[in-house]
Amino acid sequence: MNYTKLSTIASLACCLGSMFWPSTLLAQQSVPAPSAESPTKESKISDVIQIFGNKHALETATGSGFVLNESALEQFEFDDIHRVLQGVHGVYIREEDGYGLRPNIGLRGATSERSSKIALLEDGVLIAPAPYSAPAAYYFPNISRMTQVEVFKGPSAITYGPNTVGGAINMLSRTIHAKDSGELDVAIGQQNYAKTHGHYSKHIGNLGLMLEGIHLRADGFKSLANDDNTGFAKNEILGKINYEFADDPFNQQIQIKVGYSEEVSHETYLGLTDTDFSDEPYQRYAASQNDKFDWEHLQLQASHYIELSPEMAILTQVYRRDFNRDWDRLNGFDSNRSLDSILSSPETGLNARFMQILKGEEDSLTSDETLIFTLNDRTFYSQGIQSKLTWDSTVGEADMTIDAGLRIHQDQVERHHRARYLNMVNAQLTYAGKTDDVITSNKDTTTAIAAFVNSKIQWGDLHTSFGLRIESIDGESANHLAQSLQKNSDTIILPGAGLFYQITPELGVLAGVNKGFVPNSPGEESDIKPEESWNYELGLRANIADWQVEAIGFYNDYSNLKGSCTFSSGCITELDVEFNGGEVDIYGVEFSANGQFSLPNGFQLPVKMAYTHSQSEFQTSFASTFSQWGNVTAGDELPYLPENQFTLQLGLAGEKWQVDLAFKYITEMSEASGTGVELEGVVTSDISQIDIAAWYQLNNALRLYSKLDNLTDQVNIVSRRPFGARPGKPRQFVIGAKYAF
């Protein structure tokens, strides 16, 4: 372990804490908006599936945590999880499509690529299409139907595997309201944006019912020469049934949750050359006109809660998720020339000719100029049963809570990819007369048994946590084309410990350590090692009433970092192959300050601030064919990890109204680590972005709201992956209304 770096981080964290505490203490949550609904009666099931059950638990947590409650989620009415999380310290985002359809989220340096290295959960259940076999988040639930988002980093991450390097994000879906009531939310905006969202709760004796539906759509902000749609449409319907046993000494509850969702988006992996981006950043080349992504998702979940005694309770959840996706898109030319090389040097040699074909300015004349359009069909399932026992008691003068859990899980991905050959003729894609080729036909399956125990002990002002997670993972990969079958297995023991000490009633110190782990995908070669790290944190937390400041230094010491070759990362060969990156250090400082000031005439000024400083270094030199690494020299930094990112939210609130402004700044990010790759030495744009939102409560039932995303209409290159420069969303104005009944 590098003690010099850890000492430096601790000093920075303490300095930040002393700079901002206590003279400018800021509140944890924004001013709650008035609501026409009665307070929700949280069921026991809802209590248990939360990482942080209440505000006090967050204030004394032995690891870094952040909670966005329903009021905070409604503050800007964001539909994009990227924008929802932009104000959380230690969270890294790489935009791709401008709407957050395929999120790229990382925590504390864990790669943001398709959110594949963090634990994503809804109501405590893993939501990735195949969390072990294929964890890339091509599916993500509508954030508009969530009422709370919890972000956790640090030692208690071992509770939420399999990926424990960065941390966990748990989203809580809407509970059944205590009274027969509902709400309708409608909105329209630029880019032909439209939202219709409604939910209704009904009670029949001890039976509670809730039905929720949401429709989101937009025509897109990019343009094709033929004026085809470049937007998306998403639909989701979800139902819950909750039954509480009457006069039951065990306080038993049963809940059934059923949901169906679908999306059609006319998105593409094909970006632009830097020159074309400078001229017209929202154009799309003619070769991407047929690109389309559509998926269907079904979730079934049953939960049972029982109190065996006043001190002991068990929650058991049985779940099944099915996800089917068709991703039809341009993949390249029927030659050895990659799209990256063409877009990086569009005027060099034959690249100029290929660029004219991509734009539809010239026709395909030779077989090398035939375009390959891939039909990437994949079918996933994720199923299992998990049970969590909680024992809450007092031992001597200490309060003790022990959580112990067991999960038996299986997931699978079946891939069937075909190459379709098209020619560009008069700016239209036409069949080239060549039979489709099956290029991928395989099935990966993983069965995993995971168990954990985590104890929390409070002895006066000292809060401690000690935990252990054990995973036994068996994977199988069947390649139907090669007629081969590979198996792998792994058993890992992951410890973690943390403490929080309340120095004064207002100020506390926290420290923690845990072992991070990301398992290999099924069928990986024996020389590919799992991703493993030791993660450390040390910081200060200050609380006065509802005001909170947190400054934490973190250091992640990787014994092996992995890279995964996917289309979204810019790979066109060696797909789904993983690479060893060896020893890597990631370290930095996180700071957050949240609160409000009281102004004359009853006005309130809520303020939220978050800052993250991050640095990374490969510790060894090596050569890799991974598109984001190349030939790495010790000391090179990781791609897509900004050195600095800062957000500031300011509001002004009255009795029946509130106006909020959010400013985000992210420094440029490297597109690749080493040399010998197409994007060597290339960086993304610095990002400065302002969003504004406002609401007004007309009466107890009706609220009007509006928002303006990207106020200054900033144009930034947010990424050049998979192929070419990609913009963020331009300015968008939305107006809506919510009616409670």
Q: What is the DSSP string of 42-99?
A: --HHHHHT-SS-SHHHHHT-SSEEEEE-HHHHHHTT---HHHHHTTSTTEEE--SSSS
Q: Across the strands, what pairs with 687?
A: 666
Any idea which of 151-165, 587-601, 641-655 has the lowest mean pLDDT?
151-165
Which of 102-111, 372-381, 567-576 has the largest mean confidence? 372-381
- pLDDT of the residue at 5: 47
Phi-psi region of 460 (alpha: psi -120 to 50; beta: other; left: phi over 0): left
Phi-psi region of 123 (alpha: psi -120 to 50; beta: other; left: phi over 0): left
Given a cut of 70, is residue 35 above it in pLDDT?
Answer: no
- pLDDT of the residue at 63: 86
Distance CA 215, CA 238 (A): 12
127 vs 161: which has the higher pLDDT: 127
pLDDT, tens digit, 9 for 90 and up, residues 452-497 = 999 999 999 999 999 999 999 999 999 999 999 999 999 999 999 9
Beta strands 232-244; 462-479: pairing state = unpaired
- pLDDT of the residue at 51: 63
CB atoms within 10 A of CB 365: 12
- pLDDT of the residue at 39: 35
pLDDT, tens digit, 9 for 90 and up, residues 609-618 = 999 999 999 9
Average pLDDT over residues 578-598: 94
Distance CA 175, CA 145 (A): 10
- pLDDT of the residue at 258: 98
**DSSP tag of 156:** G
Query: What is the average pLDDT value for the chain, to the nearest integer?
Result: 91
If one counts the domains in the chain, the total is 1
Given a cut of 60, is residue 353 above it in pLDDT?
Answer: yes
Q: Across the strands, what pairs with 29?
A: none
Average pLDDT over residues 680-688: 94
- pLDDT of the residue at 56: 61
Average pLDDT over residues 694-719: 97
CA angle 312, 317, 322 (to 5 degrees): 165
59: tokens are: 């204030």
Per-residue pLDDT band at 574 (split at 50, 70, 90): low
Indicate the residue type of 223.
S
Sequence-distant (6+) residues with CB within 8 A of 26 are 547, 548, 549, 593, 594, 595, 596, 607, 608, 609
Token look-up 């992996």 returns 269
82 within 8 A of 94, measured Cβ to Cβ: no
Distance CA 708, CA 666 (A): 20
pLDDT, tens digit, 9 for 90 and up, residues 301-328 = 999 999 999 999 999 999 999 999 999 9
Distance linking the first and last C-alpha atoms of the chain: 58
Long-range contacts of 617-620 (CB under 8 A, 24+ apart): 617/584, 617/585, 618/581, 618/582, 618/583, 618/584, 618/673, 619/582, 619/583, 619/584, 619/585, 620/582, 620/583
426: tokens are: 């008069």
Beta strands 484-502; 437-459: pairing state = unpaired
What is the SS3 assignment for 605-635? EEEEEEEEEEEEEECCCEECCCCCCCEECCC
Residue (of 609, 694, 594, 601) closest to 33 by Cα position: 694
Query: Three-state DSSP class for 314?
Result: strand
Q: Domain limits at 420?
A: 3-740
- pLDDT of the residue at 533: 95
613 within 8 A of 656, measured Cβ to Cβ: no
pLDDT, tens digit, 9 for 90 and up, residues 39-79 = 333 467 877 887 665 556 778 888 888 999 999 999 999 99
680: tokens are: 């060597």
CA distances from 213 to 179, 238, 243, 261, 600 (A): 19, 6, 22, 9, 42
Look up the pTM and report it: 0.91
CATH number for the domain harbouring residue 733:
2.40.170.20
Distance CA 277, CA 715 (A): 9
285: tokens are: 């080349």
Given a cut of 80, is residue 215 above it in pLDDT?
Answer: yes
CB atoms within 10 A of CB 663: 15
412 within 8 A of 443, measured Cβ to Cβ: yes
45 within 8 A of 315, measured Cβ to Cβ: yes
Query: Three-state DSSP class for 5?
Result: helix
Per-residue pLDDT band at 33 (split at 50, 70, 90): very low
CA distances from 362 to 64, 274, 428, 494 (A): 56, 21, 10, 57
CA distances from 357 to 360, 366, 517, 735 (A): 5, 11, 45, 41
pLDDT, tens digit, 9 for 90 and up, residues 387-421 = 999 999 998 889 999 999 999 999 999 999 999 99
Per-residue pLDDT band at 577 (split at 50, 70, 90): confident
Phi-psi region of 436 (alpha: psi -120 to 50; beta: other; left: phi over 0): beta
φ, ψ for residue 204 (rounded to 5)?
A: -130, 95
Residue (of 376, 378, 258, 241) closest to 321 by Cα position: 258
Indicate the residue type of 698.
L
537 within 8 A of 588, measured Cβ to Cβ: no
- pLDDT of the residue at 21: 37
Distance CA 189, CA 208 (A): 35
333: tokens are: 């030319």
Any idea which of 233-247, 555-569, 578-592 has the lowest mean pLDDT?
555-569
pLDDT, tens digit, 9 for 90 and up, residues 116-136 = 999 999 999 999 999 999 998
Any idea which of 45-49, 187-191, 369-373, 519-523 has the lowest mean pLDDT?
45-49
Residue (of 299, 42, 63) closest to 147 by Cα position: 42
Average pLDDT over residues 194-208: 97
What is the SS3 assignment for 690-720? EEEEEEEECCCCEEEEEEEECCCCCCCEEEC
Given a cut of 60, is residue 528 above it in pLDDT?
Answer: yes
pLDDT, tens digit, 9 for 90 and up, residues 326-350 = 999 999 999 988 898 999 999 989 9
